[in-house]
Amino acid sequence: MARVYLYTLIRIIIFLLRLLALGASVAAIVIMVTSHDSAQVLGMTFEAKFANTPTFKYFVGVNILASAYSLIVLFSPTKNLLGRIILISDIIMTLLLDSSISACLAIAQVGKKGNSHAGWLPICGQVPKFCDHVAGSLIAGFAASILYFLLLLCSFHNVLNLYTLKA
């Protein structure tokens, strides 16, 4: 009887984690897609938007993929074979989200601080609204990445628990 309650509690926790991960991924997408600002330098207008940087496009694409995956898995049953497939998919999603966050953090650092060795100047002084949106999107994306890591640990627990229950 206690095992049934524990299993139900774990299922509820996983459902809530997936729901939170979905929300964080969608928030990261919306914030990044709405990031745009313009600045005038020497009489010329420059526009900064997420679509100008392939890394930001990758970040949005991965978060769209993660959101779609969360929606599919949120309402899927987790039985024997499907549980293993979800475990593998959780690993892939976690790695993709981590790689997109890492790439975006590198570009955001260059945008904020510049790179004196390459002669790149920081742009956040000229387009602060854009940089604030990118920072907010990265925070939401990082939250999604942490939630997916927690989901990965729960998936490992579930798959290992299935093996111990059979033995």
At 127, which helix (H) or strand (E)?
none
Q: Are 24 and 151 in contact (CB under 8 A)?
A: no
- pLDDT tens sequence across 65-114: 999 998 988 877 666 567 678 888 889 999 999 999 999 999 988 888 88
Q: What is the pLDDT of residue 23?
A: 94
pTM of structure: 0.85
Residue 146 structure tokens: 């942490």
Mapping DSSP to helix (H, G, I), strand (E, B) and coil, where does residue 36 land? strand
Q: What is the pLDDT of residue 136?
A: 93
Closest CA to 70 of 145, 122, 153, 162: 145
Q: What is the pLDDT of residue 160?
A: 73
CA distance linking residue 65 with residue 96, whole number of Å: 9
Closest CA to 127 of 36, 29, 28, 33: 36
* Regions of the chain short of the pLDDT cut 70: 1-3, 77-81, 83, 161-167
